[in-house]
Structure 1
């Protein structure tokens, strides 16, 4: 088949298509007529911009616009090319998205061409649903990533994104699932479509230490347990008594192991607990007897009666210890009443004072015998 060349004339002998020896555009003839071939003004595509997500397609149509303002669809006849087929391919106007990026597709026909910009999943922003993480060792947390595209649409890209941790001894991450494996700080990074976002992570990072005892008063050869609580950056409180490092400023006064404080000698010291970079100090004093105390305020007996009187040592830690058998007892008037290890026996009518002495402390009580 032969085409008309620009400027050539065609003569129709009968109704039909007549072609010149050289040219691009066929002329349509009716009987014995002569016409001049139409001149192409430009090519026009029905879409100004193509925006697709991966594997998406869009059909473009191109029309020839002649100088006489008439148009003709040449989508199938035009030559279509992509400036970067790794991003988008095109065949007979059908654009197929291959990978993220920008390119242009071009349609050529009759010495004219027109191009259309193509954007494939061009990400304007990548975000994570967690700005920062605070975890305890052994715990997990799912982080999701969302891509915002240039057309303002969004897509969850958690499973397709690239996730990494800058310290896998502290945290690991797989498809957004973060696992805390050791205490400390690390950073997670998620990448997708040329964008990335970082997420700081704290594992067992202690913001504060507290103990259930603010001060200790201990009697000789006794023990007392201290519970240590760590407040994490998650606001969670964790018992770290057995994990902390415990020390005593003076082991001659008191020792400590895993929070159990044992008195060794009299005096004052401080025990310290360290965990997660924080330290707490607790003063310790040997508990001393502040006073002696009877179990009754007064005693009244008849001749021949007896009564068991108990005496306790009250320590500075408020503890009371029965020292009845250890105390020294005396009656100021044994002819009225006698006392042995706290047992008072009325002898004759009258009054006397019973005194109990222990470690330098004395307590007295009046006894009346009728």
Structure 2
């Protein structure tokens, strides 16, 4: 019974199997499809192939395991159940066969890229500028290759820059990134085109009238400090084109209202506020204004439109003051700071209106008397009235400063004048920056008037001269008989009660005195031969006086000083005046003073405060920003007398963007060179100025030897033209000749990879370089130079690098290991594995040094 059951079970199984085979046999294959037709692999990499059978019935089946797989060159690429393994560099053909259908796959095996190195860490370009990136592939076998042209290059934003085989060209302002791929490695390089530090408009606020236009420039400041007008390159837009629109910085007002203009260049942008109005006229509520010191006042600006309406536009106008030390203005609010006068302007669109502001300044001063006649011992009170810009008047007698130019004749205090002795004086009152004066006479007629100004006759002749005294009240009196008459030379002319008689040939002076007044009448008796002065050139200082000696020589050989008798005149009273030969210097300049007597004349050239020589100390300036210097100016006149004229000279800077100068005080603005000019008394002198000019650069390290991964700080010192030294490490522009070897920023040098490079740093137009060595080895050694191994055995080697500074370092892992025959001995990170019988050489390379180990593998 058991045997029967077993036979029955076997029959059923056989029948079932036969039925299954019959069903599958009825399925006919149409095609065999692989998921890939080509493979690119690096040595050691694997890839999975899948095979799919497509039957005539339209059904499909994954037959990867059932397919027969073969490699045309197993040493290059092997295959098992669709899994392809790359063995060594080369090409191989993988064949897959199933139910009579065959498909091939081409396999390209390349060396494995251990690293992909770029020679540029970042690229900064201007528009239209190009720069080349070089890519180097380092393989596991220790070789390297320039793969720039073989790599796949891509850029994130092609509108900013383009890249072709590593050649990058800037197209427009902005930043993007370039990616280069080669085999299993890729690198990224940031790109900056026309990247600016900031953008600044020429104006941040513009006021326009309807249909008016105004052009505003846009300036871009780059990281290196250079500035460029980018108005035509920038993107301009308005947030309300019905109010104002803009094209390349030219703003046009189209309708009343406010708009914001945005100017963008690269990644930076700025805005300009625009007010557009259709005002026909603008007016201030006050045309003139009087203010007290420390007081404030609000001005109102009103615009009137075509429809007759008006609007307060005080807050929208541009306000300015001609003297902010006197009056400061902001949005129409005035602040009086000190006594003086200033003009305040309000500008709206193309219209401007002004108002005059006086701070504690009277328009005029008036004395209660213009002149005064007193007797000795008398006193009289004089009052001073100040009239201000607002029409108000004030008695400022007690507040004024009073002064007499002749205190011996008369003195004054609080306007009360007291006469002491006969004579004349000028009384002056000062208040609020203005002054007024009166003429005072004490026991003196205003003037004495002779009937003749000069007498000329022959010896023996006589002439009667009458004398009148003219007083302050205008009355006249004949005082001929009461005056005191005298002659300077009785042997030439005599005088008695105005009757002059010629005695002998020559010239003299008849003097008439009445009270404290006197006059002189020149008298010429006989023939005058020559007239000479003791000076033909006179050099004086302001307010200095000199009495000329004038000599008349007659035909009889006699001579006489006739300075008091001559007639005197001046060509320039602003420079010098003359009275009876006394020349008084009044102000800087030149005058011709002429003395005439007896039909002859002589001229004296008078120079007042003129300079023959002008010198500056120091004659040259060199210093840095943040300091100020003072130049002293000395003028030497024709007589050799020197005077400090620093405060009186006219100063000018050749370039106010470099330095500014006021009364000899020099203030630096920026680094550079220029010339300061000082002018005085018709002479000029120039002083060269250098601000922060770099003579040379110094670094505290002339040479750097370091190791990969370490950082070293370099200090940069600038020697300025004034001899001072300054640490400019943070201000220098640092760069590396090879960023794949060393990187540098702010003076910090970081070793990236072994090799040599140069660090360069620039500042103030000067550049200095520092050679850098990274991982420079003296020699490289292994713990064994020859080993014997058995097949399948592994052995750990050790590589030690000795640097030039004497230090040692285990570089077993960092080194690049290779074998001349991996079928005999393979190596990785110093671990040698014996793979077959024979001899091979294992090489370890580090920092351009290498050493070898001979490996003998036995059974």
**TM-based fold match above 0.5:** yes
Structure 2 unaligned spans of 5+: 1-450, 466-488, 506-524, 782-799, 815-843, 852-859
2:595 is aligned to 107
The offset of 1:164, in angstroms, is 1.5
The offset of 1:267, in angstroms, is 2.5
1:200 is aligned to 688
Matched, 1:272 2:760: yes
Spell out the pairing of 1:98-247 with structure 2 (5 A cutoff): 98-247=586-735
- Mapped contact 1:5–1:20 kept (Cα < 8 A): no
The offset of 1:40, in angstroms, is 4.2
The offset of 1:223, in angstroms, is 0.8
Matched, 1:28 2:516: no
- Mapped contact 1:4–1:27 kept (Cα < 8 A): no
The offset of 1:66, in angstroms, is 4.3
Question: Which structure has more RCO (C-alpha within 8 Å, separation ≥ 6)?
Answer: 1
- Alignment equivalent of 1:52, drawn from 540, 562, 565: 540
Range that drifts further, 79-88 or 39-48: 39-48
1:19 is aligned to 463
- Mapped contact 1:273–1:279 kept (Cα < 8 A): yes
The offset of 1:65, in angstroms, is 4.3
> 1:266 and 1:313, CA in 2 relative to 1: closer, same or farther beyond 3 A?
closer
Partners of 2:723 and 2:502 in 1: how far apart? 92
Q: Secondary structure at the match of 1:270?
A: strand
- Deviations along 1:55-106, one digit per CA (max 9) or x if unpaired, are 2211224455444455555444432101222322212222122334433211
1:315 is aligned to 803
Q: Secondary structure at the match of 2:731?
A: coil
> 1:5 and 1:148, CA in 2 relative to 1: closer, same or farther beyond 3 A?
closer
Matched, 1:82 2:570: yes
Partners of 2:755 and 2:570 in 1: how far apart? 88
The offset of 1:274, in angstroms, is 0.4
Partners of 1:114 and 1:34 in 2: how far apart? 25
1:261 is aligned to 749
The offset of 1:226, in angstroms, is 0.6
The offset of 1:289, in angstroms, is 4.7
Partners of 2:608 and 2:562 in 1: how far apart? 25
- Alignment equivalent of 1:39, drawn from 506, 516, 526: 526
1:287 is aligned to 775
> 1:105 and 1:34, CA in 2 relative to 1: closer, same or farther beyond 3 A?
closer
Partners of 1:233 and 1:285 in 2: how far apart? 33
> 1:314 and 1:4, CA in 2 relative to 1: closer, same or farther beyond 3 A?
closer
Spell out the pairing of 1:5-16 with structure 2 (5 A cutoff): 6=457, 10=461
- Mapped contact 2:704–2:770 kept (Cα < 8 A): yes
2:447 is aligned to none
Partners of 1:85 and 1:71 in 2: how far apart? 30
Q: Secondary structure at the match of 2:729?
A: coil
- Alignment equivalent of 2:582, drawn from 87, 91, 94: 94
> 1:221 and 1:160, CA in 2 relative to 1: closer, same or farther beyond 3 A?
same
Q: Secondary structure at the match of 1:146?
A: strand
Partners of 2:722 and 2:562 in 1: how far apart? 65
Partners of 1:112 and 1:54 in 2: how far apart? 30
TM-score, normalization: structure 2? 0.32
1:336 is aligned to none
- Mapped contact 1:78–1:108 kept (Cα < 8 A): yes
- Deviations along 1:116-162, one digit per CA (max 9) or x if unpaired, are 22222332211112232221111222221111221122122222211
- Mapped contact 1:57–1:95 kept (Cα < 8 A): yes
Partners of 2:625 and 2:721 in 1: how far apart? 13
- Deviations along 1:188-236, one digit per CA (max 9) or x if unpaired, are 1111111111111111211211211122222121111111111222222
Structure 1 unaligned spans of 5+: 11-17, 294-311, 328-356, 363-370
The offset of 1:49, in angstroms, is 3.5
> 1:78 and 1:5, CA in 2 relative to 1: closer, same or farther beyond 3 A?
closer
Q: Secondary structure at the match of 2:612?
A: strand
- Mapped contact 1:4–1:20 kept (Cα < 8 A): no
> 1:34 and 1:156, CA in 2 relative to 1: closer, same or farther beyond 3 A?
closer
> 1:225 and 1:231, CA in 2 relative to 1: closer, same or farther beyond 3 A?
same
2:168 is aligned to none
The offset of 1:20, in angstroms, is 6.4
The offset of 1:46, in angstroms, is 4.5
> 1:66 and 1:227, CA in 2 relative to 1: closer, same or farther beyond 3 A?
same
Q: Secondary structure at the match of 1:178?
A: strand
2:407 is aligned to none
TM-score, normalization: structure 1? 0.70
Partners of 1:204 and 1:249 in 2: how far apart? 28
Partners of 2:458 and 2:502 in 1: how far apart? 12
Cα RMSD of the aligned pairs, angstroms, is 3.7
Partners of 1:86 and 1:224 in 2: how far apart? 73
